[in-house]
Amino acid sequence: MSTHATKEAMAMTCHSSNVADFLLEGKEPDRIALHLLNRNYTYAELLTATNSIAAYLGKLGCQKGDRVLLVSENSFFWVAAYLGILRAGLVAVPLPNTTPADDLKYILEVTAARVALVQGRFATKTRLHLAGTHVLTDGQIPSLPNAVSQMSFGGLHFAESNRRVCKEVGPRDLAALMFTSGSTGKPRGVMVSHRNIMANTESIVQYLGLTEHDRIMTVLPFHYCFGTSLLHTHLRVGGSLVVDSRFMYPEAILQRMIDTQCTGFAGVPSHFQILLRSSSLPKKHFPDLRYVQQAGGHLAPSFIRGLQAALPATQIFVMYGQTEATARLSYLPPEFLDTKLGSIGRGIPGVTLRVLSESGEEVKLGEVGEIVAEGENVTLGYWQAPQETVHSFRNGKLYTGDLATVDREGFIYVVDRAKDFVKCGGKRVACRQIEDQLLEYEELLEVAVVPVPDDILGEAVRAFVVPRAFNGNGLKENLHEFCKKHMPPQLIPREILLLQALPKNSAGKVLKQNLRSM
């Protein structure tokens, strides 16, 4: 297709409520959208692939609202498949390639998905658990008929056509089912609408000040709502994403950030813990790095101070969110890091956050209540789980299950999840508070605290710790002495267990349920 025709195709996007149009319309065709290890991809190539996949899904007989599984690592295939599903008016169900067989079977059953887009390297394993499902891999999607021209990437052949492939959807029509761990032990699908994504994307773009000149280093998986939000926000402004899944080699990530002139980096706490205490980050210079995003859990104040010291010229955004809120709910502006250290800030643009008591009243100073969110990013509930939906979604508000306090200026401080406490001597103490104190000991890389039964106190503290180095220099004894100096006697861990790493899910978040069962 000629440059002129490509520009026409880029401009042909319809002004609808479809997220695919929202992200791709009006972009310069030749601008780079994705930087992968093997090659770069332009917005024109992304649009072509998106339209081709959407058209092929339509040829398969998929109807508006049908669910389509997406199993792939971060790749051009993942992005094109996701946007193609949305453009066709279908519902994307992104899953990690490590999804257990029982969970995959359950998700297939509850979503009634007839089609799955699967990266070729995972196709053999996945097909065993997707009986009755039409599985398409990145090497099998055929070209559309009546093609004007063809292009290929990574063995996947797409045809370009001037015919638009755009399915009109309403704001409340589903765009995605994002599966998370449920209270019943089964995964639960969060119902995310097209409007949810648009609203949350616009809010994040606004407070981060993103422009087409921004380029984010992407180590978070796209199937995780934090990772998906990076894709949404940077495509929306015409920026680009450097996609690199090699975080097990942090030095390679840091060097690539410098080489590709990344203006941003985003990660969950474990990413920053590793970078600050197991990499050369504090010694490197990143001339283009404008901002850092931290979300996906609580990062201890000791690490935030470390980030400030390592990146003095970079804006550090501490953020809070949930899948049930599409992605983001609040942020702490960088200028408040010193005076409001430990706070998640206040609601992002378009979001109202309140901390409510059990009676539904806003808490007073010093009181603890539940964070309740209201805004267009609050999702529609849980897929086929009416009881859980009624519990968490009431009158258009999201009851997060996170407990918090509020200071005089309205800044919110999360105490912990409602169930993540140790009850010592009749007093409830947040595990997070103990973890933060332990992480002040700089020889530790990661810490997770869980309660264990105690005949005298009721519950005592068990601490799982990951040291920076296993050098046999009496770490347990030294840590115990540190605790005696800095912690009340009842909160000093009764047991300290050394691990090579804490168990985590595919998004890098600690799996405390695994630790509790040890």
Question: What secondary structure does DSSP assign to 183-223, as a single string?
Answer: TTSSEEEEEEEHHHHHHHHHHHHHHHT--TT-EEEE-S-TT
118 and 199 inside one domain: no
Of the CA atoms within 13 Å of residue 345, those in its CB half-sphere come to: 25
Q: Which helix H or strand E contains 57, and what residues bound it?
A: helix 43-59
In total, how many domains does the chain have? Answer: 3
| The 215-218 sheet, strands edge to edge | 40-42, 32-35, 240-243, 215-218, 264-267, 291-294, 315-321, 328-332, 346-347
CATH number at residue 135: 3.40.50.980
16 and 136 inside one domain: yes
213 and 159 inside one domain: no
**CB 434 within 8 Å of CB 461:** yes
**Count of helix runs (H) and strand runs (E) in the chain:** 15, 27
Tokens describing residue 20? 């695919």
CATH number at residue 270: 3.40.50.12780
478 and 344 inside one domain: no
- CA–CA separation, 235 vs 222, rounded Å? 13
Which of 446, 498, 511, 388 lies closest to 98, judged by CA?
511
54 and 155 inside one domain: yes
275 and 321 inside one domain: yes
21 located within any domain: yes
CA 294 → CA 47, 256, 268, distances in Å?
30, 19, 6
Which of 41, 104, 131 lies closest to 78, judged by CA?
41
- In the chain, the amino acid numbered 71 is V
Q: Which helix H or strand E contains 415, and what residues bound it?
A: strand 412-417
CATH number at residue 472: 3.30.300.30
Positive/negative CA dihedral, 491, 321, 505, 181: positive
138 and 200 inside one domain: no
Tell me the whole-structure pTM to 2 decimals: 0.85
Q: Write the DSSP symbol of residue 428.
A: E
DSSP per position, 106-150: HHHHHHT--EEEE-GGGHHHHHTT-TTSEEEETTTPPPPTT-SEE
Q: Write the DSSP symbol of residue 385.
A: -
252 and 316 inside one domain: yes
Across 99-121, b (16+ Cβ under 10 Å) vs e yields: beeebbeebbebbebbbbbbbee
392 located within any domain: no
366 located within any domain: no
17 and 164 inside one domain: yes
- Of 362, 381, 400, the position where a domain reaches its end is 381
- Residue appearing with tokens 């042909």: 12
For the chain of 518 residues, list the mean pLDDT of each consecutive stretch of 10.
38 67 95 96 94 91 96 95 96 94 92 93 81 83 37 42 64 95 77 98 98 98 97 98 96 98 96 94 96 94 96 97 97 97 97 96 94 98 95 95 95 82 74 90 92 80 89 82 89 91 85 84
Strand partners, 12: none
Write out 456-499 in H/E/C secondary structure: CCEEEEEEEEEECCCCCCCHHHHHHHHHHHHCCHHHCCCEEEEC
Q: Which helix H or strand E contains 242, and what residues bound it?
A: strand 240-243
368 located within any domain: no
What's the domain range around 471?
Answer: 421-516
200 and 342 inside one domain: yes
Tokens describing residue 119? 């990266």
159 and 20 inside one domain: yes
- CA–CA separation, 346 vs 412, rounded Å? 6
Task: Give CA 380 to chain center in angstroms.
Answer: 18
In degrees rounded to 5, what are phi and psi of residue 219? -110, -10
367 located within any domain: no
226 and 281 inside one domain: yes
409 located within any domain: no
